[in-house]
Chain A
Amino acid sequence: MWRDTWLMAGKDLRIEARSRVALSQVAPFGIVALVLFAFALGPDRAPMVKGAPGLFWVAMLFSSVLAIQRSVSVESTDGARDGLRLSGLDPAGQFLGKTLSVAAQLVVLEAVLGVGVVLLFGASIQTFWLIAVSCLLGTLGLAAAGTLYGALSAGLRIKETLLPFLLLPVVAPVLLAGTRMWQAALSGGTPANATPWLQLLVAFDAVYLALGVVVYGPIQETA
């Protein structure tokens, strides 16, 4: 399973390294979203700083939908999905590999958006490790749930409209937890404020990773 995970993640990341779709389209989209949020909240600093954690995570959620659609679409042509099913790779490994690849791209995006939030909104980070942990765990959850829903909607012609509708309400807890941890980190709050949210993120990740490992194989049969 682990070998297949690396193979799969390597494949998706190599495709990204050569096509640069995430870098040239998804990342700019995230930045555009941040700029639009700044326009919406007006030129005053105060509401922007206050809203920065939430805006960061909303931008991440929207960008992750794009990243997942990209991750699904690389396998939608040339019978690639059937090829993968024939390849004998462990479905659990395929799931973990795709999740890892999406998560890796999203972490890069988070670094870019994080810098954007600090520069554009004037937010100052007090507790850096809280930011890092929330980003890592939140991203893993987004990627795992997204890969599951991506696989579910893979064969559908209307997946562009259906995937966000299905996925975004499900990842609402990630938005809540991530935002609260960022608020704690920006205000220099104690880790005690963040502990329940940390637990929530861990639980979310565990649930969707476990679910994916178990059901990714059977899902492929529905596409």
Chain B
Amino acid sequence: MTTNPIRQSPRVIWTTRIIGVLALVGTGFTVWLGLWVTPPDQTQGDLVRLVYIHPGVAWVALYLAFGLAAGCSLLYLWPRTRSRFWDRLAAASVEVGVVFNVCTLISGSIWGKPTWGVWWAWDARLTSTAVLLVLFLGYLALRRVPAEPEVRARRSAFAALFAAVDVPIVHFSVVWWKTLHQGATVLNANLSPTIHGSMAWTLLLGFVALTLGFVWMLLVRYRIGAMEDYLGAGELDLALLERQSEGMPSPSVPPAGLTSEVLAPVGDPGEAPGPRAPAEVTR
């Protein structure tokens, strides 16, 4: 039996809420600073305001989300750290990452049209971002294939691993292919930002707010994933009990396993659900 993920410790619930509120407030401030407080750029004019969002979204999508997904998949595959926790976290991370990836491409396009004159340019970073999106859409498609939870988790982890090793190769190949994107602004070689004042602070705030937003979405998506697993395992459990009770003389016996689990207070509900949870039921 798995821990009921609907019952979370107040600490987890409040942490999630606080992160969500902070993300919302941070994003609000970024919008306010970005649209009203900061001055327009000398060369780019108002177009520069997109810079407060675009790099932050890209950072979350390309590094945070997919890096986390790759790490979690590796941890799942490693026998010692195998746990459904890593599988769910990887899935949640890819799903949120895909959203951020799409936002990266859209915001980049909006910036590209007036700057480069085209919605899409075949430059290295755009191309590798698009390939990354397709790779992880494939991961999500694979996850949607119905399978036993353990099998699906292993298969998805392998798929994430195969895709992750491809990312640097794709990156190098498209860099050699063509490049006209501007270099990194904040994380350039000597680590001294080439923008300053209120603009730099707004950019930084945007990074923080978007990262918090990612973490909040990740936590919520993880919880939904845990609930889905719980429901899947529970429904089968309930059906089995009903089927068994058909042969019994007294049908008034409550389906012990699930109901007592739902009603009874759970020991340490904040803890992540155990690694081998639904497999016991499905076998």
Residues of chain A whose beta carbon lies under 8 Å from any beta carbon of chain B: 145, 148-149, 152-153, 156, 158, 162, 165-166, 169-170, 172-173, 176-177, 180, 196-197, 200, 203-204, 207-208, 211, 215, 218-219, 221-222
Contact = CB atoms under 8 A, between A and B. Distances in A.
Contact of B169 (A149, A156, A203): A203
Nearest to A176: B173
Given A166-B142, A177-B173, A149 B134 contact: no
16 contacts: A152-B142, A153-B142, A162-B141, A165-B137, A170-B162, A172-B131, A172-B170, A200-B172, A200-B176, A207-B165, A207-B169, A211-B165, A215-B161, A218-B154, A218-B158, A221-B154
B212 interface: no
A211 B166 CA distance: 11
Nearest to A219: B158
Nearest to B133: A169
A120 B155 CA distance: 42
Nearest to B155: A222
Q: Chain B CB within 10 Å — which of A148, A169, A200, A204 has the most?
A: A169
Using C-beta atoms within 8 Å of the partner chain, give the interface range for chain B.
Answer: 20 to 34
Contacts, number: 69
B173 A149 contact: no
B176 A149 contact: no
A222 B158 contact: yes
A172 B134 CA distance: 11
Nearest to A221: B154
Nearest to A158: B145
Contact of A222 (B154, B161, B166): B154
B169 A204 contact: yes
